[in-house]
Amino acid sequence: MKDQIKNLIKITFAVLLLAISVNMFFGPHHVVAGGVSGLGILMEQLLNIDRSVVVFALNIVMLILAAIFLGKKVFFNTLYGSMLFPFLLAIVPEIMLTSDRLLSVIFGSTIFATGVAILYKIRASSGGTTIPPLIFEKYFNVSPSIGLFVTDTFIVTLSLFVFGFEEFLFAILANALVSIVMTYIETGLKRRKALMIISKENAPEIKEALKEEVARGMTLFDIKGGNDSDPNEMILMVASNQEYPEIKAVIDKIDPMSFVVVYNVSEVHGLGFTYHPIQ
């Protein structure tokens, strides 16, 4: 029950982000970023029907399709988000926060992608155009990503005929930004730097200095040179971006000729990198 309540809170927050991005960033500038919200913006322009009503009607249809073709589990997983999304679209003010369309696309896409990423992480959905790709996957073995891409491409293309070429280009940009931000979030926000340090003469001194100056754990590997086959020791450690300059200064002070490989890692969990609240 506790986990279910947490998930409901996360879904509510995520769908609220979607509604804010649509009503305050995309909608005022006629940017159609795909999905039922994009269809809502299009139908509002063509038929003068409130976008929340359009989204509600479309989500009802999609829920019926989910119940028929995908079963009860998918139906109940999407029910709450599908009903909540049009409700929040109706109560979130439809205002233009900035008159700059590019700024609206950038911030709207970032907010929208954050909301969708939260939903994906807990395997929830706001309904809409996420349902048809699942049906195509089940019955025609078509990848959901391809199905969703085709669906959103069709919706974005409609904006070309409804709003014009400039709005169409901004819609493409919005979809690209949403994809980029979602990828960034899904591959981890706890990005750090990993260092592999090899010093022929000063490995013990570097190890002790790093312990004192940085206070990060490290792993030692016994290695062998490819040319001379001499045994050596390699230090592997992970540090935050803020700690990296200090580590580099320590290494350069002791052995400027040391061999150091630095690369970015997408996420680090545990061992001093994960925040643990006070119990």
Residue-wise pLDDT for 108-167, tens only, equals 999 998 988 888 777 777 877 778 877 887 888 877 667 777 888 888 999 999 999 999
What local confidence, expressed as pLDDT, does residue 17 receive?
A: 94
Looking at 2.40.10.480, 3.30.70.120, 3.30.360.10, 3.90.1300.10, the CATH number of the domain 192-265 comes to 3.30.70.120
Q: Is residue 134 helix, strand or coil? A: helix
Taking 50 as the pLDDT cut, the residues of the chain under it are 273-279
Structure-block tokens of residue 41: 């913006």
10 Å CB burial of residue 37 (0-12, 13-18, 19+) is buried
* Residue-range domain boundaries for the chain: 2-186, 192-265
The secondary structure element, H or E, covering residue 233 is: strand 231-239
What local confidence, expressed as pLDDT, does residue 279 receive?
A: 30
Distance of alpha carbon 259 from alpha carbon 200, whole angstroms:
9
For 155, 274, 275, the CA distances from 278, given in Å and listed in that order, are 47, 13, 10
What local confidence, expressed as pLDDT, does residue 175 receive?
A: 86
Instruction: Please check whether residue 94 is in contact with residue 52, taking contact to mean a CB–CB distance below 8 angstroms.
Output: no
What local confidence, expressed as pLDDT, does residue 274 receive?
A: 44
Give the count of beta carbons closer than 10 Å to the beta carbon of residue 212: 8
What local confidence, expressed as pLDDT, does residue 78 receive?
A: 85
Instruction: Please check whether residue 206 is in contact with residue 242, taking contact to mean a CB–CB distance below 8 angstroms.
Output: no
What local confidence, expressed as pLDDT, does residue 267 receive?
A: 65
Q: How many CA atoms lie within 13 A of 215 on its CB side?
A: 2
What local confidence, expressed as pLDDT, does residue 53 receive?
A: 94
